[in-house]
């Protein structure tokens, strides 16, 4: 069961990273023709997607690093190199499901 959770977690992380990179590519904070309010909205959107991408990338990196023999305590305060908890898997999978649903809905 733990291996299935790890695979689901990594797959969901991949979906979130891919979507985050796609959204970041389409965000243009430095455009000269937008209002300060729109610039703030785009900057907050970019910040949110950057944070989601970093978190999802960590979910994909942890199992790879563990498989390579990196000790769990090597991440220190910044990264928790352990197997994901059920809560982490469910949150990331729920977010990935919303992304896939939006893509399917768009056609």
pLDDT at position 1 is 64
Condensed to tens digits (0 to 9), the pLDDT of residues 2-48 reads 788 888 999 999 999 999 999 999 888 888 888 999 999 999 999 99
pLDDT at position 14 is 95
Q: Which residue has the higher pLDDT, 59 or 90?
A: 90
Quick check: 96 pLDDT over 70? yes
Please tell me the pTM assigned to this model: 0.84
List, as one string, the DSSP characters of 70-104: --GGGGTTT---SPPPHHHHHHHHHHHHHHHHHHH
């Amino acid at each position: 069961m733990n291996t299935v959770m790890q695979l689901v977690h990594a797959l969901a992380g991949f979906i979130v990273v891919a979507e985050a990179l796609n959204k970041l590519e389409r965000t243009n904070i430095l455009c000269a023709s937008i209002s300060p309010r729109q610039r703030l909205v785009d900057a907050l959107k970019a910040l949110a997607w950057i944070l989601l991408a970093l978190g999802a990338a960590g979910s994909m990196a942890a199992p790879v690093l563990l498989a390579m023999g990196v000790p769990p305590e090597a991440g220190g305060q910044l990264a928790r190199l352990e197997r994901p908890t059920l809560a982490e898997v469910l949150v990331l999978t729920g977010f990935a499901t919303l992304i896939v649903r939006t893509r399917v809905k768009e056609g």
